[in-house]
Amino acid sequence: MTMPDSETAIMRVKLRECRLVTERLCQSIGVPDAMLPCVTICGVYSAALGLAGFAGMERQLDRLTDVRPERMSASVDDGIVRFCAGGQHAWVAAEPALDMLVAAYRIGNATRMIMSDALEARELGVIRGLAERHHLRAQVEMDDDGVAAVDVSARPLGEATVLDRIIHEGIAVEHDLWFQLFHRSHDALAPDTVISRTHTGSIIVRPDGTIVGKADPEFIDMDLSMLTKDSLIRLEKTGTRAND
Amino acid sequence: MTAERNPSIVDPYDQFRLMRDPASLMRPERLAALQPSRVSATRALIARAAKNRWKVTRTQFDLDERARGTACYRIEGDGWEFSFPVFSFEPSGKMRTFRIIGRSWDMMGSLVEGRISARDMQHTREEMPKLYHGRATPGTLVWCRSNRSARYLDYAVDALAGGSQPSPEVLAAANYLMRNTGLDGNGTFGTRSFLSLESDHPLRPALRAQMLAAYMMRVFAHDLVAHLARVRGGGNAAEMSDALSRFLGIGNGSALGLMFFVHNHPRLIDRWLRIREQSIAAAKLTEIASDTGALDTLQALIDRAIVYRSQDQTDYDLLTPSDVIAADLRVIRKELGWLRERAQAGVLETSTPLIEFCESLEGRFTPDAIETLNSLLIELVPDLADELAQTLVLDEELVGRPEMTVSRLREIVRTEYRWAFDLDLVSDSSRRYIWYKSVNAEEPRRGPREEIPEALSLGLDLPRLVVALDADLAQSDARSSVASFLLAHPLHRLIATRVQALAGLAYHSPHADIMSEDFIPAHITRMLNSAVHGIDKTRDAMGRVIRGVLMQGAPLPADLANGTAEQHWFYPPEPEI
């Protein structure tokens, strides 16, 4: 079901929507562009794997505001990758850490990684999903101190992945929560100023009413006040046709 | 006498040899010249619908005299069934614009799998006008909306109501009755993810579902005009002739959002350009002896293109005017005639003369004319093109190779992104612009940074990212892994992953600095609209908007169902009425 069920108010959101909203939320709090895809996919896996997910998103965002990936470090000793997250959030550390393990695994140096000092360590469970992207299976065991042991092994070819499941079934989320996150994700979008409205379109309407751009008789019925009004955002909030 | 076959010419790898170097093809101005072809989404859809005789049936049409009401269509093809409910509105000038910030639409439609239930119909009616705040029903593939051409729809209605046919020449100024103002699918608003479509799903290849929705908007536009003509003219009203109906497509306008599409779908762009190149190469390898059938077909298609371009009333700005293209095509046609004469006389120097023929055109004609010929060449290998177009199902997940060495990554950067190092990436004018999305309808925009300081940059600054990556790779241990490199240089993670994931693909990204004052966004938009979507008569406005017409000349539903659709329906001449 994609529609919200009237009794449970649970809907299923699609991969594209999950990724878009999560990415915008992360971008709006300052996650560096270079880290956005890897942090975003962790947020998506978190929701799909029953971790913090959408219900815990606000908390994760609060703890993702100071991303300093340079604090992370790693070494390989006795066939084990030892990864110190340096106090970084699990969504920031998960992919760099798994990369170290995958690199070691593929040249026969290690199949196990010990991860320590990650914020929101339980979220390291997303590594199960991330490993599938490398065609590997990962087991993640967490101790009471937030230290994770990650073991990777070969994965049968053709076995459905978490991402496959999201693509086919979407992710369940409470309707109101989803739209709350959706609206917050708009923090990553730019304000709609009159000058900003000149940054696209086939014509520009100057403050004095003159038009820059070629007149096209096909568009004589256009409402040019849409390009010059101070605020159009109310319409975006209501989301309905103007002539309804 | 036909020359002896040169073994190197018939080498199976020639197809790949003939595919163009990305250094020339991926320049924005060359990409902008690519023309619609058989592998474009619209044409691939229609080819399949015609071949398998898809059936479109109008199941409901309850519109009042002011065009308010509901219609519904059923589409049956390849063992699948779809519904296309339409909600029609009386036009309103309030909040009406050609941009996505518009809030006034004359119709909204939904492409849904199976037979839509009354409950889902009602749900769609309520949800669709909310757009981003609405949710599609299960099995919904696309939500779409369109507006009338105020001048030409009314003109057509008036003429038909009076019992006569509208003038094709008048209608050819617009080429359509309604224009698309939005086609959303693939997860947007809760629509089905296209990657989840079943392996035998006829709309599985990229953009097929959107193009079917566009086709259905055209069907509805014709029905709307007929309805309004009957309302006004009663028993005197005429039916629009089939020839004129075929001639009219559905309008389209696209702007900056397609640049984001290109960056978010690099594998799709690569595959699309690759299959186009592969089809052209295969066509050039057509063996021609005294049997000139292939050349006859090509000549006939060029003739059709010449007429189409000659009759085009579109006022072009940055892009090559149609009369210039027509003039070039006339000369190309003449030279092809000389080739044909030599073939008939048996005095060809090679069995595959189209290779040399095409090579001889470069530099003498406009890229638009040459790309028109290239597109027409693909019609010589229709089965191959159709087969390749079915492969446009791509997973765009970008995953790195952590075990790759720094030296190998640098080698990829230096060989596959050589173009980036040749650009001016430091001058103020090269860094002037920022790409962003407005909170207003998420409209993509591009403007000088100082005019929108609050905006977060959403554009992929590919050349600068690549050059910066290269600088740090050069300073790192060549034998260490990319995983270690990215741990030390985390701010290269996005670009390093992208470079690795796309390694070996030649055509995934335009060779351009999109932040530069000199970059013309319309070049990339036109490539998408024209070559990928299959939109004709694409013209630009202010270098950042592209307008054109979809499905001009496409078969009508009866043509599809009856098996009477023309194979070469595109480039239709103005009908004589």
Q: Per-residue pLDDT tens for B420-468?
A: 999 999 999 999 999 999 998 899 999 999 999 999 999 999 999 999 9
Between residues A220 and B82, which one has the greater pLDDT? B82
Distance CA B172, CA B312 (A): 8
Q: Which of B97, B191, B486 sits opposite A222 (nearest CB)?
A: B97
Residue B426 lies in a domain: yes
Residue of B90, B195, B443 with shortest CB distance to A167: B195
B403 at interface of A, judged by CB pairs closer than 8 A: yes
What radius of gyration do chain B's Cα atoms show?
A: 25
| ipTM of predicted assembly, 2 dp | 0.93
Q: Which of B130, B138, B486 sits opposite A1 (nearest CB)?
A: B138
Residues B132 and B215 in one domain: yes
Which tens digit of pLDDT belongs to each residue from A77-135?
A: 999 999 999 999 999 999 999 999 999 999 999 999 999 999 999 999 999 999 999 99
Tell whether B141 is covered by a domain. yes
The domain boundary residue, chosen from B209, B239, B261: B261
Structure tokens at A53: 């997910």
Question: From the CA of B82, how many Å to the nearest CA of chain A?
Answer: 18
Least confident of A3-17, A153-167, A197-211: A3-17
The pLDDT of residue B12: 63
Q: Is A102 exposed, middle or buried (0-12, 13-18, 19+ CB in 10 A)?
A: buried
What's the rounded mean pLDDT across residues B377-401? Answer: 97
Strand pairing report for B176-185 and B249-254: parallel
Q: B64 and B32 in one domain?
A: no
Contacts of B66 in chain A (CB under 8 A): none
Chain B residue with minimal CA distance to A92? B490
Work out the number of other CB atoms within 10 angstroms of the CB of residue A224: 14
B99 confidence band (pLDDT: 50, 70, 90): confident
CA distance to partner chain A, nearest, from residue B559 (Å): 30
Whether the CB-CB separation of B545 and B257 falls below 8 Å is answered with no
What interhelical angle do B266-284 and B367-377 show, nearest 10? 80
**Shortest CA distance to A24 belongs to which of A182, A130, A196?**
A182
Subunit contact A239:B150, Cβ cutoff 8 A? no
HSE, side-chain direction, 13 A CA sphere, residue B291:
4
**Are both B211 and B95 inside the same structural domain?**
yes
Is residue B335 located within the same domain as residue B425? no
Which DSSP string corresponds to B10-73?
A: T-TTHHHHTSPPHHHHTSHHHHTT----TTSHHHHHHHHHHHTT-EEEEEEEEE-TTS-EEEEE
Residue A36: what residue type? L
Residue A20 C-alpha, separation from nearest chain B C-alpha, in angstroms: 10
Domain co-membership, B245 together with B106: yes
At which residue do the structure tokens 């009237």 appear?
A6
Q: Which among B469, B493, B547 is the top mutation candidate for probing chain A, defined by the most A β-carbons within 10 Å of its own β-carbon?
A: B493
Q: Hey, is the C-beta of B446 within 8 angstroms of any chain A C-beta? A: yes
- Residues 6 or more apart from B412 whose CB is under 8 A from it? B499, B500, B503
Q: Name B110's bridge partners.
A: B143
CB atoms within 10 A of CB B479: 9
Ranking A164-173, B91-100, B336-345, B384-393 by mean pLDDT, the lowest is B91-100
Interchain proximity B104–A243, CB inside 8 Å:
yes
Substitution target in B96, B170, B515 with the highest count of A β-carbons within 10 Å is B96
Q: Count of CB contacts below 8 A, A vs B? A: 246
Determine, yes or no, domain membership for B130. Answer: yes
Is B112 found in the same domain as B159?
yes
Same domain for B11 and B152: no
Asked, for residue B308, whether it belongs to a domain, the answer is yes
Of A103, A203, A223, the CB nearest to B95: A223
Among candidates A53, A86, A100, A83, which has minimal Cα distance to A148? Answer: A83
**Which pLDDT score, from 0 to 100, does residue A1 have?**
40
Residues 473 to 492 of B: which have CB under 8 A from any A CB? 481-484, 486-487, 490-492
pLDDT score of B120: 97
pLDDT at B177 over 50: yes
Domain match, B243 and B276 both: no
Among residues of chain A, what percentage have pLDDT more than 90? Answer: 76
How much is the pLDDT for B11? 56
**Side chain identity, residue B429:** S
Transcribe B195-207 into DSSP letters. GGS-TT-TT-STT
Count up the domains in chain B and report the number. Answer: 3
B440–A236 CB contact, under 8 Å: yes
Q: Give the span between the Cα atoms of B499 and B504, in whole angstroms.
A: 9
Does the residue B533 lie in any domain? no
Nearest CA in chain B to A36: B494
Residues of B in contact with A5 (CB under 8 A): none
* Nearest residue on chain A to B119, alpha-carbon basis: A3
In a domain, B360, yes or no: yes
Which pLDDT value is given to residue A8?
54
Query: In this prediction, what percent of chain B has a pLDDT beyond 70?
Result: 98
According to the model, what pLDDT value does residue A232 have?
56
Is residue B364 within 8 Å of B335, Cβ to Cβ? no
Yes or no, beta carbons of B451 and A191 under 8 Å apart: no
Same domain for B35 and B57? no
Instruction: Give dist(CA A57, CA A222) in Å, integer.
Output: 41
pLDDT for residue B4:
41
pLDDT, position A244: 43
Residue B570 has pLDDT above 60, yes or no: yes
Alpha helices in B236-366 (DSSP H): 242-247, 257-264, 266-284, 293-311, 322-344, 353-361
Residue B304, phi then psi, degrees to nearest 5 = -65, -40
Kindly indicate the confidence band of residue B3, based on its pLDDT and cuts at 50, 70 and 90.
Answer: very low
Residue B7 has pLDDT above 80, yes or no: no
Give the three-state DSSP class for B534. coil
Strand partners, B182: B145
Q: How far apart are CA A171 and CA A1, in angstroms?
A: 10
Element (H, E) at A98: helix A90-106
Task: Tell me the residues of chain B between 309 and 338 that have a Cβ less than 8 Å away from chain A.
Answer: 315, 317
Count of CA atoms in the C-beta half-sphere (13 A) of B535: 27
Residue of B40, B98, B30 lying closest to B523 (CA atoms): B30
Residues with Cβ < 8 Å from A44, sequence gap 6 or more?
A: A15, A18, A19, A22, A166, A171
Contact list in B for residue A188 (CB cut-off 8 A) is 456
What residues in B contact A179, CB-CB < 8 Å? 133
Higher pLDDT, A117 or A222: A117
| Mutation site for A-interface testing, chosen from B66, B119, B135, B171 by largest number of A Cβ within 10 Å | B135
Q: Write down the pLDDT at residue B15.
A: 86
- B-chain residues near A27 (CB < 8 A): 456
> B60 and B35, same structural domain?
no
Which residues of chain A neighbour B92 with C-beta distances below 8 Å?
A: 242-243
Query: How confident is the model at residue A231, as a pLDDT?
Result: 59
B396: left (phi over 0), alpha (psi -120 to 50) or beta: alpha
- A213 falls in which pLDDT band (50, 70, 90)? confident
Q: Are residues B51 and B28 in the same domain?
A: no
Instruction: Report whether pLDDT(B6) > 80.
Output: no
Domain end marker among B456, B479, B501: B501
Cα separation, B560 vs B57, whole angstroms: 12
Interface test with chain A among B456, B462, B477, by most A beta carbons within 10 Å = B456
Confidence of residue B96 (pLDDT cuts 50, 70, 90): confident
Q: Is residue B527 part of a domain?
A: no
Amino acid B1: pLDDT: 36
The model's pTM is 0.94
Query: Residue B327 contacts by C-beta under 8 Å, 6 or more apart in sequence?
Result: none
Q: Which of A60, A48, A57, A52 has its CA nearest to residue A177?
A: A57
Contact check, Cβ <8 Å, A218/B174 = yes
Last residue of a domain, one of B485, B501, B517: B501
Q: In whole angstroms, what is the distance from residue B547 CA to residue A220 CA?
A: 16
Mean of all residue pLDDT scores within chain B = 95
| CB nearest A16 (choices: B186, B403, B490) | B186
Please tell me which residue of chain B has the smallest CA distance to A237.
B133
Least confident of A6-15, B271-280, B310-319: A6-15
Closest CA to B145 of B208, B96, B186, B193: B96
Range of the domain at B59: 44-261
Pick from A70, A103, A204: CB nearest B402: A103
Contact call for A204 and B457, based on CB within 8 A: no
Compute the C-alpha angle A92/A93/A98, nearest 5°: 130
Strand partners, B57: B74
Helix (H) or strand (E) holding B433: strand B433-437
d(CA A69, CA B183): 39
Q: What is the pLDDT of residue A218?
A: 73
- What value does the CA radius of gyration of chain A take, rounded to a whole number of Å? 23
Q: Specify if B526 maps to a domain.
A: no
- pLDDT for A179: 96
What are the residues whose beta carbons fall under 8 Å from the beta carbon of B291, sequence distance 6 or more? none
pLDDT at residue B141 is higher than 50: yes
Using CA atoms, how far apart are residues B512 and B524, in angstroms rounded to an integer? 10
Residues B58 and B135 both lie in one domain: yes
Residues B499-533: tens digit of each pLDDT: 999 999 999 999 999 999 999 999 999 999 999 99
How far is residue A238's CA from residue A217's CA, in Å, rounded to a whole number?
31
Q: Does B198 touch chain A (CB under 8 A)?
A: no
Nearest in space to A193 (alpha carbons), one of B445, B8, B352 = B445
Mutate to test the interface with A, among B128, B133, B140 (most CBs of A within 10 A): B133
pLDDT, average across residues B193-205: 97
pLDDT at B232 exceeding the cut of 80: yes
What percent of chain B is modeled with pLDDT above 90? 92
Q: Which of A14, A133, A232 sits opposite B397 (nearest CB)?
A: A133
| CA separation for the pair B446, B458 (Å, rounded) | 10
What mean pLDDT is predicted for residues A141-153? 97
- Could you give the angle at the alpha carbon of B491 between the alpha carbons of B486 and B493, nearest 5°? 50
